[in-house]
Structure 1
Amino acid sequence: MNSTVKPRRKPSQSRAWMTSTAIQDAFLLLLLEKGYEKTSMRDIANVAGVSVGSVYQYFPGKEAIAAMTVRTWVRKLSTALSQAVEGITRTGKGRTVDEVTRLLVEVQVNTMLEGGAYWRALSSIERRVSPQAVYNRLYQDNVDLFRQALTSAADWPDGLDDARVAFSAYTIVDSLVKQALLVKAALPSAETMLGDVSLALDGYVRAVRRTGAVPP
């Protein structure tokens, strides 16, 4: 990982975790209020209620704080998806593909819209501050969760390239939600977003199941 985005130290005690969290929360508030370019390390320290020196003990610079904050929020989404997938797989082969895809869409849409303004701000800088390897790993973690959920469905057909289908399925959901947050002036309603994303994902998955293979 690039040294400019790698934290200086990993907090191992509760007080240290609280300080790191306070710094990330302060950065996020300032990102909304002032934007990335106008936010300084001193601003972050003031809002977090710590000294500038304390901030530098944990992070070498603003980009490192931004990268860690993005990772923290992406992991929140992964945790929500993981809990949903655990619930799906715990019931065995009882759910249909349509039920599984609906649940996956609901979890991702509701999680991201709940923190809509924050997700919008973080999505706008995500590729700028996230090292490619870290971005790829976190993305693939969520793809793997989609794969696990989809293949657990009672009517999931054999013979599909599950990894490829899961990648496309997650990309459809993630891209539609993120682009809506980034581009639209007003945050979309959950009902509208759920409807649009479900239509797109259902169309893709049904086409794949009907043909029995992902088109080349």
Structure 2
Amino acid sequence: MKNPEIQVRRKPRQSRAKVTQEALQESFVRLLHEQSADKITIRQITDVAGVGLGTFYEYFSKKEDLIALTIHVHVKQHAEQMKTYAQSLIKLSTDLDVQSYLQQIIHFQIEQVQQQQFLWAQTFLLERQISSIDIYRKSYAMMVQMWRDILEPFIQDEVRLKSTALNLQRVCYGFISQTLLIEPEFGEWRDLECDMIHMLRD
């Protein structure tokens, strides 16, 4: 049964604790390149991270909680990168129209996913295996909010802003996640980008 929330036993308030938790996440990702998530053991994770088994249980009650947090952090970092890029576009241009703006952001998103294609393919797969519906909804809402932030300089009407942000997430998440779930080593990114932009124009 999937847990309703990520169960983190100890939140890293100090820098050392944060480094330890991040090391555990990075170890899991490294091991994921070698074997499937269900085959990875907690002992392997702690060995790669260079910490004791007891340290793992200071932060997590089980492996699935570490996986859920790793997914959450990965998606959150992606959202922050997207917003930072969008802000840089606005600062660099005084006459940027919304269509060109969105095309450049989608191009950037495709580039970011392509650079970490293996991890994204695993993220979408594990998201379905590990995350509860509540966690999934929170993650989805975070990405919709990201699109709202990105669109806010161009759309002042609240109803339109809400619906456009939601539709952007539906299209981008749907196209990318379904593509990588079916074909983890997908290579026709330019075609996919064109299809996404075409869908948004319609």
**TM-score when normalising by structure 2:** 0.86
Paired residue type of 2:129: R
How far off its partner does 1:89 sit? 4.8
Paired residue type of 2:168: A
1:75-94 aligned within 5 A: 75-90=76-91, 94=95
For the pair 1:186 / 2:182, whether they are aligned, the reply is no
Q: Which of the pair has more CA radius of gyration?
A: 1
Unpaired runs of at least 5, structure 2: none
Range that drifts further, 52-61 or 30-39: 30-39
How far off its partner does 1:119 sit? 1.4
Unpaired runs of at least 5, structure 1: 208-216
For the pair 1:41 / 2:42, whether they are aligned, the reply is yes
Preserved contact between residue 3 and residue 132 of structure 2 (Cα < 8 Å): yes
Preserved contact between residue 85 and residue 145 of structure 1 (Cα < 8 Å): no
Paired residue type of 2:171: I
* TM-superposition CA deviations, 1:33-89 (whole Å, max 9, x none): 121211111111111111111111111000000001001100111111111232345
How far off its partner does 1:4 sit? 7.5
- In structure 1, the residue matched to 2:192 is 196
How far off its partner does 1:3 sit? 7.8
* TM-superposition CA deviations, 1:118-137 (whole Å, max 9, x none): 11112111132223333222
Tell me the matched-pair count.
201
- In structure 2, the residue matched to 1:162 is 161
CA distance in 2, matches of 1:158, 1:4: 34
Paired residue type of 1:6: Q
Q: Helix, strand or coil: the match of 2:32?
A: helix
Paired residue type of 1:74: V
CA distance in 2, matches of 1:85, 1:65: 30
- In structure 2, the residue matched to 1:173 is 172
Preserved contact between residue 75 and residue 139 of structure 2 (Cα < 8 Å): yes
1:59-138 aligned within 5 A: 59-90=60-91, 94-138=95-139
Residues 118 and 185 of structure 1: is their aligned pair in 2 closer, same or farther, counting only changes over 3 Å? closer
Preserved contact between residue 5 and residue 61 of structure 1 (Cα < 8 Å): no
Preserved contact between residue 78 and residue 142 of structure 1 (Cα < 8 Å): yes
Range that drifts further, 10-19 or 178-187: 178-187
* TM-superposition CA deviations, 1:153-193 (whole Å, max 9, x none): 4xx697973312221222211221222222225242xxx42
How far off its partner does 1:92 sit? 8.3
Range that drifts further, 24-33 or 89-98: 89-98
CA distance in 2, matches of 1:171, 1:102: 16
RMSD: 2.6
Range that drifts further, 165-174 or 61-70: 165-174
Preserved contact between residue 4 and residue 60 of structure 1 (Cα < 8 Å): no
For the pair 1:19 / 2:20, whether they are aligned, the reply is yes
